[in-house]
Amino acid sequence: MKKTILGFVALFFYSSLTLAQGFIFAEQHKGKSSYIVENERLKSKLVFPFKFQAVGVGLNKTYHGIHYIFKAATLVKNIRTTGKDYDWENNQLTVFSSSDNDVKDFVSIGLEVAKDITDYSTIFANMQYRELDLLWSDTKQQNLVNNQALHLTGDTLGYEQKFYQLNLGISYQQSLSNNINLSIKPSVIFALVESVDRHFRRNFYTIQNNVANGYGIHIMLSRKIDKDSTLSLSFNQENYQDKHNQMKRYFTLAPSDSLSASYKYNAQKVGIFYQQQF
């Protein structure tokens, strides 16, 4: 999938690089995914925070009045966070656990297509594919009913997510001076998130196919360094959720079952971009 998308986009841009703008960027990501699963009087909530740094490259091209922006990024540094697991019975918290949470892999590929509607605004569609893999280890569990504690060393859980995301919105541009421009891009988000949660010590794994929607905002402040190059700072916020779906649970030594579940995702990222005209 990733190689096909990269190949198609590379062929398009390679065929017409005249007046294209290439850019490099570095970003810091922070956010969390979470899900709640229920089975009669039992309820569990797992929270998967993430914090990491990524670098990437991109290309910006206008062709027949349509603006195309391609970008790809990958993980360069994990910043450890704490994953949390809550269990309730009859609405009473019975078990709580916390684990070291690390980002093991991240990749992002995106293509944005935009068209001017006025001198200061454009409509756009941004299509993204992302993979985000998290790993829990060194789990500390507290049973609040009998006041017992358990400490599990080593890897205990793996959480893998694949995002197929579409942002639709309008971009507004404002010139603050001769060399400085501000861009604000609100959007609505539609996403399919495929998630797999592997419980290594309990011999089962779960699969969710989340159909989520929400909103996003992207703000970028750009300064022209010279006629061919630009330096930019950006901030991005995204929130979406699927309130009702089914979680499939697969056991090593027992039949599979299905549970009622929900899913939430929110993330922020800040970045710095350097863009150069060809």
Beta-carbon contacts of 30 under 8 Å, excluding residues fewer than 6 positions away, are 50, 51, 267, 268, 269
Share of the chain above pLDDT 70, in %: 93
For residue 225, pLDDT beyond 60? yes
Average pLDDT over residues 15-27: 78
Is the pTM higher than 0.85? Answer: yes
For residues 151 and 219, give the distance between their C-alpha atoms in angstroms, rounded to a whole number.
43
- Say if residues 180 and 155 touch (Cβ distance below 8 Å): no
Question: Tens digit of pLDDT for each residue in 151-191?
Answer: 999 999 999 999 999 999 999 999 999 899 999 999 999 99
For residue 2, pLDDT beyond 70? no
Torsion of CA 30, 224, 167, 270, to 10 degrees: 0
For residues 79 and 64, give the distance between their C-alpha atoms in angstroms, rounded to a whole number.
43
Torsion of CA 109, 211, 206, 196, to 10 degrees: 0
pLDDT of residue 20: 82
Give, rounded to a whole angstrom, the gap between the first and last alpha carbons of the chain.
Answer: 29
pLDDT of residue 96: 97
Name the residue with tokens 């400085």: 180
For residues 239 and 124, give the distance between their C-alpha atoms in angstroms, rounded to a whole number.
19
Question: Tens digit of pLDDT for each residue in 87-109?
Answer: 999 999 999 999 999 999 999 99
From the list 206, 198, 213, the residue with the least C-alpha distance to 244 is: 213
Question: Tens digit of pLDDT for each residue in 47-88?
Answer: 999 999 999 999 999 988 999 999 999 999 999 999 999 999
- Say if residues 251 and 20 touch (Cβ distance below 8 Å): no
HSE of 224 in the Cβ direction (CA atoms, 13 Å)? 11
Q: pLDDT band for 252, please (50, 70, 90 cuts).
A: confident
For residue 9, pLDDT beyond 60? no
**For residue 211, what are the CA distances in angstroms to 25, 69, 193, 258, 262?**
30, 26, 7, 17, 10
pLDDT of residue 13: 47
Q: pLDDT band for 5, please (50, 70, 90 cuts).
A: very low
Centroid of chain to Cα 182: 24
For residues 72 and 31, give the distance between their C-alpha atoms in angstroms, rounded to a whole number.
20
Average pLDDT over residues 248-252: 93
Task: Identify which has the larger pLDDT, 116 or 17.
Answer: 116
Q: pLDDT band for 227, please (50, 70, 90 cuts).
A: confident
Domains of the chain: 30-277 (2.40.128.90)
Provide the b/e sequence for 236-263 (b: ≥16 CB within 10 Å).
bebbbbbeebebebeeeeeeeeebebbb
- Say if residues 191 and 216 touch (Cβ distance below 8 Å): no
Count of CB atoms within 10 A of residue 114's CB? 19
**For residue 158, what are the CA distances in angstroms to 101, 129, 155, 234?**
9, 20, 8, 31
Beta-bridged to residue 37, according to DSSP, are: 44, 261
Q: pLDDT band for 278, please (50, 70, 90 cuts).
A: confident
pLDDT of residue 44: 97
